[in-house]
Amino acid sequence: MSDHETQPSNTTPIQSAAPASDPRPGAPRKGGRNAILGLGALGILALGFAGGAAAWSATRPHDVSFDASMKSTPIAELKEASSIGITGQVEQIYGNKFVVNDGASRALVETGRAGEGGKLVNAGETVTVQGRFDDGFLHAAAIRHADERVDELTPPPPPHHGPRHGPGAERPGAEGPGVDGPGEPG
C-alpha cells in the first residue's frame, strides 16, 4: 500500500478533542482547584481585616486610667514593687526620666518612650505621678499636671525576678573564659 491509499471504511476517525472531564477516580477537577484558591484568598483577606482592626483599636484614644481616689504616698515611704502615687515638684529632667521633690524627699520617675526628649513635664511644674515603684525609681503609668490634664503612659511590664540569662549572668556550672566550671579550681 502506498501513502496515498485511503484507510478502510470500517475504521472510525480519531477525535483530537480531550474529554470534558477526567474519568479517573480521584482526579482533580478544575472547579475544585478554583474553590480552594478562592477560600485561601478569603482567608488572607480576613487576616488582613483582623490585623487592620487590631491596629486601629490600638491607636485610637482610650480612657485615661488615672485613679483620682488614690492618695499620694510620701516619697520617703515608698516600698519596692508597689503601685503608688506621689505628688511633688519637678526638679530636673533627664530625657525620659525626671526628679520629683515632695519637700522632704526626692524620687526618680521613668516615663518610657512617651517621655523621650524631655517634653512630657517642665522643670518647676507640680505633678502627681501614679505607677509602680521598683528598682529604686517610679515607673510612671499616668501623670496629672497642675491644670488637671492627664498623660497616660504605657507602663513597662512587671520585672522578672527569676534567673538571669545572657552575657554577664551568673550561671552555676557554666564553662567558658573566666567562668569556673564544676570541679575546676577558681
- Round to whole Å and give the CA distance between 97 and 136: 13
Report DSSP letters for 34-72, one per residue. HHHHHHHHHHHHHHHHHHHHHHHHHHS-------TTPPP
What is the C-alpha radius of gyration for the chain, rounded to an integer number of angstroms? 36
Q: What is the pLDDT of residue 98?
A: 95
What is the reported pLDDT for 15? 55
What confidence score (pLDDT) does residue 68 get?
Answer: 84
Rounded to whole angstroms, the Cα distance separating 99 from 91 reads: 5
The Cα 151–Cα 153 span in angstroms is 6
Q: What is the pLDDT of residue 85?
A: 93
Query: For the chain, which domains are there?
Result: 75-152 (2.40.50.140)
Q: Classify 128 as helix, strand or coil.
A: strand
Q: In this predicted model, what pLDDT tens digit does every residue of 38-83 receive, in sequence order? A: 888 888 988 888 888 777 666 554 444 788 888 899 999 988 877 8
Give residue 179's pLDDT: 47
| Residues 186, 38: Cα–Cα separation, whole Å | 67
Tell me if residue 30 falls in helix, strand or coil: helix
In angstroms, rounded to a whole number, what is the distance separating the alpha carbons of residues 99 and 107? 6
d(CA 133, CA 82): 5
pTM higher than the cut 0.85: no
Compute how many other C-beta atoms are within 10 angstroms of the C-beta atom of residue 132. 20
Phi-psi region of 7 (alpha: psi -120 to 50; beta: other; left: phi over 0): beta
Contact 111, 119 (CB under 8 A): no
Residue 24 identity: R
**CB neighbours (10 Å) of residue 53?**
10
Q: How confident is the model at residue 140, as a pLDDT?
A: 92
In angstroms, rounded to a whole number, what is the distance separating the alpha carbons of residues 186 and 176? Answer: 13
- Regions of the chain with pLDDT less than 50: 61-64, 174, 176-184, 186
- Continuous segment of H or E residues that includes residue 97: strand 97-101
